[in-house]
Amino acid sequence: MDLLLVEDKDSFRRLLTQALEGSVWTVRAVADPQEALRHLESQPFHVLVTDLRLPGMSGIELIRRARRLHPGLRVVLMSAFGEPKDIVEAMRLGADDFLPKPFDLDAFLALLDRLRALVGAPPPDPAEPWVAHSPAMQALDAALRQAASADLPVVFRGERGSGRERCARRLHVLRHPAAPYLSLSAATLGPDGPDPRMLQLLAGGSLFLAGLEHLSTAAAGPLARAMDGESGRRLAWMGGVDSEGVLAPDIAQRLGSLELRVPSLRERREDLLALARLLLEQSARREGRPVVWLERSAERQLLDHPWPGNVRELEVLVGRTLLFSEGHAIRSFPDLGLGLAAPLCLSWPEHGDLDGMLKAVARSAEAQLLRRAMSETAGDLPRAAEILALTVRTLAQRLRDHGIPLEDRGSTLLRKTP
């Protein structure tokens, strides 16, 4: 992982650099904040460690500019003269921690270990929308709040596309919002089980295993042993399983302490229009368009549809309709229930040589084909892999390469409004 260290005192900069030699960190150490900004402009870094008092620019200003360039950058501020107002401002700008000089090197290394976990398994956004107007979702929300009081393993059971992983993220935020969180498809686990290094990074956080009904027999035993191991006991385990899915006996004994049912969209009609409006708003913002609204005729269509694909189906419909709509209102959903696929629409690549542009177009097309396969199979990784003639692990890796979550994106859009 890449770390940018900004410290104008040569001896202290060398000391910190030497302390990180042979570790997982690749360190770029500079004395000048302007040079640090040039590095940030030319390449991404995972962590920025900066002094407060620097020549020509304060550490606060450097953090402000660095976060503009890389909003997900993890930041540590150091100082022997830190005023409370400086610390408060640094935290407001997104700094993860403050180290008063002089500090113990072991404490510094422990802090970097924690940040490494957050880089590899970032916690969910606490402001992620959560719609819970319906009695079914209000009951689930109450159960999540009760479950948050302990780190018991939890299984979320429900139909594909209903929002099982979204519920896991909700529970994680209620328990410990700043801790690492990782979602992993159970179908990708091999006979060696979860990576022990990954489990160590997740200490104090949560691991969600999606699609437990697809867990192979060979992977069940190693997974059970991992849950019982020292690293496994230091994190909260959660899983998702289909409505009719069956858990392996070893996993049911360890993960089935608490089972929560996620209602289908058909059971939460009171949430339907709020979800549709939210999806329209977010889709319009992603495309740089003004927010559109639903007319009564379109609302009636949504309320009359049976929604076999749950929230994922709603998101696909909204995105497809918005793509071909004009004006500021959606009057109808012409292809609702017809299963029509949106045409393959590719953006023009940046100007360059023909081979380079063709590669860019091919990558964009691959991402859309992957999304379509995941959508048509309702997020069923093995089925999508079979359709695309790929192994499950290869498909999972390609989804990660394109930043496509293994679970449905539509299920991330559930919000409780006042």
- 305 in the same domain as 190: no
Same domain (yes/no): 254, 282: no
CA distance 164 to 209: 10
pLDDT tens-digit readout, 37-74: 999 999 889 999 999 999 999 999 999 999 889 888 99
206-262 residue pLDDT tens: 999 999 999 999 999 999 999 999 999 999 999 999 999 999 999 999 987 899 999
Residues 113 and 20 in one domain: yes
CATH number of the domain that residue 166 is part of: 3.40.50.300
Place of tokens 């049911």: 252
Please, which pLDDT band fits residue 26 given cuts at 50, 70 and 90?
very high
Q: Are residues 161 and 202 in the same domain?
A: yes
At 49, the amino acid letter reads V
320: CATH: 1.10.8.60
C-alpha–C-alpha distance, residues 209 and 66, integer Å: 34
DSSP string, 264-278: PGGG-HHHHHHHHHH
pLDDT of residue 102: 85
pLDDT at 364 over 70: yes
Alpha-carbon gap, residue 139 to 319, rounded angstroms: 29
Q: Which amino acid is at 121?
A: A
Q: Is the pLDDT of residue 407 over 60?
A: no
Alpha carbon separation from 384 to 309, 363, 406 (Å, rounded) = 16, 18, 11
Specify if 362 maps to a domain: no
Domain count, the chain: 3
Q: Which of 120, 148, 168 is the last residue before a domain boundary?
A: 120
24 and 108 inside one domain: yes
Residue 152 shares a structural domain with residue 256: yes
Cβ neighbours for 216, distance < 8 A, ≥ 6 positions apart: 187, 189, 190, 191
Q: Could you tell me the residue range of the domain that residue 53 belongs to?
A: 2-120
SS (H, E, C) 34-66: HHHHHHHHHCCCCEEEEECCCCCCCHHHHHHHH
Residue 224 CA to residue 129 CA, distance in Å, equals: 33
CA 336 to CA 152: how far, in whole Å? 41
CA distance to 140, 255, 273, 332, per residue, from 131 (Å): 11, 27, 10, 23
